[in-house]
């Protein structure tokens, strides 16, 4: 099965990104043909600083490779290195009804939060559809908040096929990432860069520990029993611990006599044990910047090789030479 996944380089990656998208994507490369792209064109809707965008793209590449992405099994590329996707986005725009985009939740949510109401933000689902349909993906892992974008991609694929009378595009199926849909931030809200409540996966260890010690808890006294299922610290701890370890800490919560500070220290130790090997690998890769660049260039060439026949079929279907 061919799987397509992408991530925006909009800042330092945090554990919400890791458990919500990175870890599931890395697991898929064990059994599927995975296309994974860094969505730098999508990021232009939010990132206006050119130097920051270039740095973010580089950081995302380093982070994924450090965490176990295998470029021999995963086609790993920058979106901007594959111009065929943008030509396809125009072909899809021709069949895209305005009403379909006007109903997109993401556009409404982002403009309500003060983002510029520009064409790129409005047409974001069309470019996302081009990302998906250009490789004829069978499966697209998505969170609940992105499911509508996949539905739009399926709608556009179906309409294009019907209008041209040719079966150019597959209708990709969603893989809904429900179990890790919400990772709490230090303030208890969903972890998000926009909320400023993140724990960066490759932040300086001392700073990460300080951030973990700031995770919001209630005011239950040290000696009193506590509910682990209502605690942000425990919710984060469970992401790193196995079932036996999680149950042991939950028992200490319920028994009383343990303060939240101790639980935060346990979380910090789990975090460090998990990411320390990846941090060492990232440092090695950072010293080999040309190697990382070569991996992205090779991934782009492989992606273009897969996409060009599909684009050629789409061009013929609409009457282009």
Question: What are the tokens at 286?
Answer: 């950072």
Q: Identify the CA nearest to 271 among candidates 190, 191, 203.
A: 203
Structure token pair of residue 246: 């999680």
CB-CB contact of 192 with 185 (8 Å): yes
Tokens at residue 76, please?
């790993």
Residue of 12, 110, 210, 226 with catalytic role: 110
- Residue 110 annotated in active site: yes
Look up 226 and say whether it is catalytic. no
Burial letters for 237-261: b for 16+ Cβ neighbours within 10 Å, e otherwise?
bbbbbeeeebeebbebbeeeebebe
Residue 129 contacts residue 157 (beta carbons within 8 Å): yes
Cα 263 to chain centroid distance, Å, stands at: 28
Nearest-CA neighbor of 192 among 145, 241, 142? 145
- The contacts found for 250-258 with CB under 8 angstroms, 24 or more apart, are 253/225, 253/226, 253/227, 253/228, 254/225, 254/226, 254/227, 254/228, 255/225, 256/223, 256/224, 256/225, 256/226, 257/222, 257/223, 258/222, 258/226
| DSSP code, position 144 | G
Give the dihedral sign, CA 76/82/88/89: positive
Number of H helices, E strands in the chain: 15, 5
Catalytic residue among 193, 238, 264, 270: 193
Under a CB-based contact definition with an 8 Å cutoff, are residues 214 and 186 in contact?
yes
Which candidate in 23, 147, 159, 190 is catalytic?
190
Given the DSSP bridges, would you call strands 74-78 and 33-38 parallel, antiparallel or unpaired? parallel
Catalytic site includes residue 210? no
Structure tokens at 124: 């974001």
Residues annotated as catalytic (active site), given as ranges: 110, 190, 193
């Amino acid at each position: 099965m061919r799987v397509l996944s992408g991530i925006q380089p909009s800042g330092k990656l945090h554990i919400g990104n890791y458990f919500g998208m990175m870890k599931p994507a890395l697991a898929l490369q064990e059994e599927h043909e995975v296309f994974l792209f860094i969505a730098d064109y999508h990021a232009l809707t939010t990132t206006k600083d050119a130097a920051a965008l270039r740095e973010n793209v580089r950081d995302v590449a380093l982070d994924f490779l450090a965490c176990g992405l295998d470029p021999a099994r995963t086609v790993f590329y920058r979106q901007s290195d594959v111009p065929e996707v943008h030509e396809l986005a125009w072909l899809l725009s021709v069949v895209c009804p305005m009403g379909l985009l006007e109903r997109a939740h993401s556009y409404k949510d982002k403009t309500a939060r003060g983002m510029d109401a520009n064409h790129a933000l409005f047409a974001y689902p069309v470019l996302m559809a081009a990302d998906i349909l250009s490789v004829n993906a069978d499966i697209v892992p998505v969170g609940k908040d992105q499911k509508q974008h996949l539905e739009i991609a399926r709608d556009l694929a179906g309409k294009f096929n019907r209008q041209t009378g040719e079966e150019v595009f597959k209708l990709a199926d969603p893989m809904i990432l429900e179990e890790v849909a919400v990772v709490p931030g230090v303030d208890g809200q969903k972890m998000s860069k926009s909320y400023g409540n993140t724990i960066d996966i490759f932040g300086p260890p001392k700073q990460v520990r300080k951030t973990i010690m700031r995770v919001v808890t209630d005011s239950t006294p040290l000696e009193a029993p506590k509910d682990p299922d209502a605690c942000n610290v425990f919710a984060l701890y469970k992401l790193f611990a196995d079932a036996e370890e999680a149950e042991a800490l939950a028992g200490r919560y319920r028994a009383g006599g343990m303060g939240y500070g101790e639980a935060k220290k346990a979380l910090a130790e789990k975090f460090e044990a998990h990411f320390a090997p990846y941090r060492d690998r990232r440092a090695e890769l950072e010293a080999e910047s040309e190697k990382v660049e070569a991996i992205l260039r090779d991934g782009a060439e492989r992606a273009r090789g897969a996409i060009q026949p599909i684009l050629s079929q789409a061009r013929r279907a609409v009457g282009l030479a």
